[in-house]
Amino acid sequence: MIKVPGLLPFILIAAMQTFCSCDHKPPTPEQNQMVRLAKLVIDSTQLESYKAALKEEIEASVRLEPGVLTLYAVAEKNNPTHITILEIYADTNAYKAHLQTPHFIKYKTDTKEMVQSLELVETTPLIPGMKIK
Amino acid sequence: MIKVPGLLPFILIAAMQTFCSCDHKPPTPEQNQMVRLAKLVIDSTQLESYKAALKEEIEASVRLEPGVLTLYAVAEKNNPTHITILEIYADTNAYKAHLQTPHFIKYKTDTKEMVQSLELVETTPLIPGMKIK
């Protein structure tokens, strides 16, 4: 048996570096973003009320919360009760803080009976940091 | 019969203004925007090639075409072959011009066999002019 106690730490470090070949750069702010599609179907008899409540909530969120990067809501032309929202938060903490704001809680309460279905789809952006001109 | 020829034009104009009480303000640039959701399903064996082609096409479009305001593409975390793109064009002419660009034609040609389905959903934005911070 050959004794190489002086080399052992170096061998171990080299082995660990080989094994753990993943990229250890810390994530950029854009890579921390939480990007989601919210897909909603609204009661057609309450659509205008719903849209007014959503508009108010989005405008307050974008104005008051630096971590809400966008809430881009669209209604399908052929199915106006089908709403999709592209939601971008700076990170999960910004999203958690958003859920506690008075304007979000008011929106959730006021629209509870208007929303027939809500699907939240977590996504990965193809180009993090993409903007709207 | 009372003759009021001098007043007649004014009466007619007033009547027309009353009758035509609709809002005749010309649309703002934001109201001319074309906003769409493209929903794609990609062949899983060609997903990485597809994403590379889409990324190249989006980066060229946004850089070279002032009328392409965004092409924000996301992949669903639980269904990575399901891609949604929020497409915003300044107006329909900007969209028509986009279809004729070499980078769009290259993308369409190169990805033809990768795309299993494509649904184009025309939409109305809730807040035209909404940005991404």
CATH number of the domain where residue B44 is located: 3.30.70.100
Structure tokens at B68: 């392409």
What is the count of residue pairs from A and B with beta carbons less than 8 Å apart?
112
Taking CB atoms and an 8 Å limit, are A123 and B75 in contact across chains? Answer: yes
Chain B residues whose beta carbon lies within 8 Å of the beta carbon of residue A127: 55, 58-59, 73
The confidence score (pLDDT) of residue B25 equals 81
Mean pLDDT of A114-123: 98
Query: Residue B122 and residue A84: Cβ atoms within 8 Å?
Result: no
Q: Across the strands, what pairs with A48?
A: none
Residue of A47, A70, A123, A131 to mutate for B, most B C-beta atoms under 10 A: A123
For residue A59, is it within any domain? yes
Give the C-alpha separation, B131 to A58, whole Å. 12
The reply to whether residue B132 touches residue A131, judged by beta carbons under 8 angstroms, is yes
User: Is residue B8 situated within a structural domain?
Assistant: no
Q: Name which of A121, A122, A133 is nearest B69 (Cβ-Cβ).
A: A133
The pLDDT score that the predictor gives to residue A13 is: 52
Model confidence at A87: pLDDT above 60: yes
Q: What is the 3-state secondary structure (H, E, C) of chain A?
A: CCCCCCCHHHHHHHHHHHHCCCCCCCCCHHHHCEEEEEEEEECHHHHHHHHHHHHHHHHHHHHHCCCEEEEEEEEECCCCCEEEEEEEECCHHHHHHHHCCHHHHHHHHHCCCCEEEEEEEEEEECCCCCCCC
- Does residue A105 sit within a domain? yes
- Residue B12 falls inside a structural domain: no
In a domain, A90, yes or no: no
- Confidence class for position A41, pLDDT limits 50, 70, 90: very high
Predicted pLDDT of residue A108:
98
A65 within some domain: yes
Mean pLDDT of A26-53: 96
Residue B6 covered by a domain? no
Please give the model's pTM, rounded to 2 decimal places: 0.83
Average pLDDT over residues A41-50: 98
Provide the mean pLDDT of chain A. 89
- Our CA angle for B93, A74, A102, nearest 5°, is 140
CB contact under 8 A, A84 and B59: no
How many structural domains is chain B composed of?
1
> ipTM of this predicted complex?
0.83
Using one digit for the tens of pLDDT, what is the confidence trace for B12-48?
455 555 455 555 788 898 999 999 999 999 999 999 9
The predicted pLDDT at position B106 comes to 98
B9 or A102, higher pLDDT: A102
Positions of chain B with pLDDT under 50? 1, 12, 18
3-state secondary structure of B25: coil
Per the structure, the complete domain to which residue A56 belongs is given by 43-76+98-123
In a domain, A3, yes or no: no
